[in-house]
Structure 1
Amino acid sequence: MLDTPINKQKSYADGKILRKTAGGVGIITFNNPEKRNAMSLAMWEGLGHALSELRDDPEVRVVILTGAGDKAFVSGADISQFEQERHNAQASEEYSRKSAAQRTLLANYPKPTIACIRGFCLGGGMLVAMLADIRIAATNSQFGIPAAKLGIAYGYDGLKHLVSLVGPSWARLLMYTGMRIDAAEALRIGLVERVLPDDELWNATMDFADTISANAPLAIKAAKITVAQVLKDHGDRDMAAIRDIGVACMDSEDFREGRQAFMEKRKPRFKGR
């Protein structure tokens, strides 16, 4: 992990969402450990503010999402709010509408995102993790979507991402049973990309983030755009966007810097242009 200074922390949602930066890495923490980082509507809104500010920070090249404490990444929605905010179809629809902008922002985020998962990752926490580009989990992690045990529908976006990661059969098993799976099973079925001992998780996640931050931003943007288009139906793909970012990469200062650094046998210094 690079020895980078941690910039001053900023908070949202009465301190339940925290944001800070470490070099080119932005870090967002779900800070509600008393409720195992269960997400309230205010936390969704705070997440949106934190993501927007890191998106607009030119020094930040990658964003990590993590949970406070060692019990949970996000244990799901804050069920204590259900009676007031999600007690029937109309109220649930309004709740979903209010959090839709934040979900869309994360789903379409222009910078790479990593979910650093320790402990419970359930329900809405699974949605947050699945919306990230990369999921790295501790061995003590547990995953599940208990919608069937609560009598609620999980929603199209969440299931679309679940099916894209684990396939329809595993998606059905997880949804029909509401079962929890451990980190080893999550790795086996493709829900997460890496599983590490608990005490190695954070440093390993930062190593991945630092590596991404040091690479060429335009090349990473090209990969992110292209993968997103690959996952769309054929008729919905924006092939022009893929061509445009490819041209931008080939005409960039970074491409020239990459070639020069290779010839000079040194590390490149990419500027994102």
Structure 2
Amino acid sequence: MNSPSKVFITGASSGIGLALAEQYARQGATLGLVARRLDALAELARRFPQVSISTYSADVRDTQALAHAAAQFIGEHGLPDIVIANAGISKGVATGYGDLETFREVMDVNCFGMAATFEPFVRAMTEARRGTLVGIASVAGVRGLPGSGAYSASKAAALTYLESLRVEMRPFGVAVVTIAPGYIRTPMTAHNPYRMPFLMDAERFAQKAAAAIARKTRFAVLPWPMGIVAVLLRCLPRWLYDRLFEKAPRKPRAVGEAR
């Protein structure tokens, strides 16, 4: 497997994003890392002094800040081989209880932020006829989970957006990879008040995800048993799904951390 030379990752300060940054750093890639917390990114850079790591402070909802970070990276290192839109948040919401701002925040970060991450790179990639765009979606986007309406909706939107983008980019030689995590051991899942089947360590996830990205896999569910769960959930008739999940444990309202 050829190691990528340049990788750009959002939400790289913790959880899945941090694990992916560490994975690519071990492969010797030149990294562009985006997060709101520069201190966490600086600590990562200190741990890999032999790797070229450029860090940028930006919220993925801020299109100008993202475009500036992308331009800086391209100016210093050239067009990245891989762009990973990973930044995401998960917060419990309840319709009718004043959670609309929380709902908007989750949708903006998880879906709009993904499109905003790709936007500064797409034209150059299509002109060069190379590159890989990677979106971190979720199995939670397969069916609507009670109490997680914003998160499920945002990830369902991400899944559909990535599929549209994959077909759109195909004639230009640009690959689009969708990674749909199940339960991954990160700060985001640390306080979930329910059982998490097939829970996977973030480091192991990053290894598997990087391998799928290198193969330009169109769609990958990690860990793989959650792929079977996702198919079964999708196949459940609505009446049975409603009956099984109406009393399922729910994420507490307005609690979540950046991935």
Same fold (TM over 0.5): no
Q: Rg larger in 1 or in 2?
A: 1
TM-score, with normalisation over the residues of structure 1?
Answer: 0.32
TM-score, with normalisation over the residues of structure 2?
Answer: 0.34
Higher relative helix content: 1
Structure scoring higher RCO (CA < 8 A, sep ≥ 6) equals 2
